[in-house]
Each structure stands twice: as structure tokens, then as C-alpha cells.
Amino acid sequence: MKKENRNVVSYSVSTPIELSAAGAAGLEGWWEQVLYQYWIRVKGMLLRLVDDPDQAEDLTLEVFLKLYRQVQQDPSIENLPGWIYRVAMHMGLNALRTNQRRSRYERTAGVEQMETRAASNPAQVVEFHERQSQVRKVLVEMKSQSASLLFLRSAGFSYAELSQTLQIPVGSVGTLLNRAEKDFEKRYSKQFGEEDGYA
């Protein structure tokens, strides 16, 4: 009869987890590795999306809390990076939609506040923030998959990473990305005029 050595177990953050073989000590090591490998990129991605460092931090915590709970229920996540980025994108887009609704309510109620930031050219800062707001508004109105494709690609994701994250065939990424770009351009031009551009 072969004895199983339960002290020597290593987790790979890209393969399913075998909790029964490692126990709590192994899970803790795996968890630290996951946080180390993905925390900064997820937080950066969410910060670009919601443009609020505190909210990005909160959303990042929520993503990893959701992962922790998922691992407790079903430890066999086949595509861990894809799972993490997909959940982060959904949470980020939902937060963006919530922020826009709240902003509309505040403007209607007359409670809108001006945020002041030090800058060498205040007009450029205002224009930059206006452009970001316009892009976010268009992204929120698009289909989730299209908005996710555009945002993740702008965050530097490769076609392979987009395929993994959004669970679409790698051969379809280019076509879907092209359609998403055209949809974005059409919506942006319709709402804000073609002369403004978006780049």
C-alpha cells in the first residue's frame, strides 16, 4: 500500500486546486500566491475603469472575497486568471453603472460637487475628465462582452488573455474586437459628435 505524503503539495495558480490533498496550510500558500500574482493588475484595471482609488480598492477586495468563497464551495476553477478578470470586469461595469445613476440623481437634486485637482493647465484637465466621462458613458451602454473586450484590450490584454478571460475562441477575438470598436465609434459619434473623437 502506497503512503501519501500530505506535507508536499504545491499549487499552481493556473490549474485546479486540490484542497483535499493539502488542507488549510496548502490553501494558505496558494492564496498568498494568487494575491501576489493578480492583486495589482486587477486593482489597476478597476482603477482605470471607475477612476476612484478607494472604490477600485473596495472592488478588488470584493473580487478576491468572491474568489475565496468560490474556492470554499468548488475548489476546481479551471481557468483562474479568466475567472478573476471576468468577475472584476463585471463588478467594475456594475459599479460604473451605479456611479452614473448616482451622478444623474445628484445633478437632478443639485448636489453635484466640483472636484479640484492641481494642474498646469486646468482646461486640459477638464477636457481629459470630460473625455473619460464620455467614454465611460458609451461603454456602459454597450453589450457587456463588447465593453469588456475594448476595456481589457486597452489595458494591455493579449488576444489569448482576452479569449481566456471572456471565454471566447481565440480566432474570434479580432472579429469581435473590430465589431466592438465600430459599435463604440458609432455610439460615441452619435452622442458627442464626430469632431470630438475619443482617442
In the chain, domain spans: 13-110, 121-199
Exposed/middle/buried for residue 152 (C-beta within 10 Å: 0-12, 13-18, 19+): buried
What's the CATH fold of domain 121-199?
Arc Repressor Mutant, subunit A (1.10.10)
The string of pLDDT tens digits covering residues 35-85 is 999 999 999 999 998 888 999 999 999 999 999 888 888 777 888 888 999
Radius of gyration of the chain from Cα atoms? Answer: 21
| Domain 13-110 is found in CATH 1.10.10.10 | no
Q: Do 121-199 and 13-110 fall under one CATH topology? A: no
The lowest-confidence range among 17-26, 32-41, 94-103 is: 17-26
Kindly report the pTM of this predicted structure. Answer: 0.55
The residue type at 141: E
Exposed/middle/buried for residue 143 (C-beta within 10 Å: 0-12, 13-18, 19+): exposed
